[in-house]
A and B are shown apart, each in its own frame.
Chain A
């Protein structure tokens, strides 16, 4: 597979829902009330519950996996959480191929996610993925 520097990845848009935040709390074991209890979140000055940063990271991770074809090809994946995500936020997630290391067989991706107001919620997203070879799918 030849991958060209500058290739666009996505964008995809994903609506974050209250139900999804609750299910993520359950599945991840992160029951911090800031993600579940509006009262607690308000008293912490957040104005209501916020999504787990790790949920947003997982949503972006789906795009990385879909683009490279297999989760098993992902060698590294990192983000900075730059703004809160609330239920009802519509996220636009995109990336591009920043560089290709032909000898190492990997592509370096740059990724970001912004909300409906154009504010970046994930910034400095980076992933390194192994490129497909002829022998695998």
Chain B
């Protein structure tokens, strides 16, 4: 799977509307009072925003991450500003890195998220791990 030529590859952008219903459901599911008390969006809600943008990368046969045994190795968010209810966000996934350690294949995907005026809102880096087939 390790094909360093894929580094820099980007995928189809996706648009995500941040609704109060979605934020409230997420906040309740994780037990975070930030929405009910202050109308804030939980800090990991960005994963919901990034989901659609990540899908084509996760299913990209060239990248080889589309395996049942795929493990989520790590996740890092960097915020330019908080996500807010009412945001209309455009997310685009890129391959940031691919590498191999022993029998483990790593794919590092980065999703960049901008608002409707083109300003960056946040980015999130997801590290996915797939073990070599026996």
* Chain A positions near chain B (C-beta within 8 angstroms): 14, 20, 23-24, 26-30, 44-45, 53-55, 57-59, 61-62, 64-65, 70-72, 74-81, 124, 126
Contact of A58 among B25, B30, B38, B78 (CB under 8 A): B30
Q: Which residues of B contact A72 (CB under 8 A)?
A: 40, 82
Q: Which residues of A contact B22 (CB under 8 A)?
A: 27
Q: Is the CB of B32 within 8 A of A65?
A: yes
Q: Which residues of A contact B19 (CB under 8 A)?
A: none
Q: Tell me how far the C-beta of B27 lies from the nearest C-beta in chain A, rounded to whole angstroms.
A: 8
Known pairs A28-B47, A59-B30, A64-B43; A76 contacts B78 (CB<8 A): yes
Q: Is the CB of B42 within 8 A of A61?
A: yes
Q: What bracket does the count of chain B residues touching chain A fall in?
A: 20 to 34
Q: Which residues of A contact B44 (CB under 8 A)?
A: 54, 57-58, 61, 77
**A-B residue pairs, 6 tightest by C-beta:** A78-B76, A27-B29, A58-B30, A71-B40, A23-B29, A72-B82
Q: Is the CB of B32 within 8 A of A27?
A: no
Q: Is B79 an interface residue (CB 8 A)?
A: yes
Kindly state the separation between the CA atoms of A80 and B127 in the bound complex, as whole angstroms: 9
Known pairs A27-B28, A44-B69, A62-B32; A75 contacts B78 (CB<8 A): yes
Known pairs A54-B75, A78-B74; A20 contacts B29 (CB<8 A): yes
- Nearest CB in chain B to that of A44: its residue: B68
Kindly state the separation between the CA atoms of A74 and B77 in the bound complex, as whole angstroms: 10
Q: Which residues of B contact A44 (CB under 8 A)?
A: 68-69
B:52-103 near A, CB below 8 Å: 68-69, 71-79, 82
B:77-134 near A, CB below 8 Å: 77-79, 82, 125
Q: Which residues of A contact B74 (CB under 8 A)?
A: 78-81, 124
Q: Which residues of B contact A74 (CB under 8 A)?
A: 43, 79, 82
Kindly state the separation between the CA atoms of A110 and B125 in the bound complex, as whole angstroms: 18
Q: Tell me how far the C-beta of B50 lies from the nearest C-beta in chain A, rounded to whole angstroms.
A: 10
Q: Is B48 an interface residue (CB 8 A)?
A: yes
Kindly state the separation between the CA atoms of A71 and B34 in the bound complex, as whole angstroms: 7
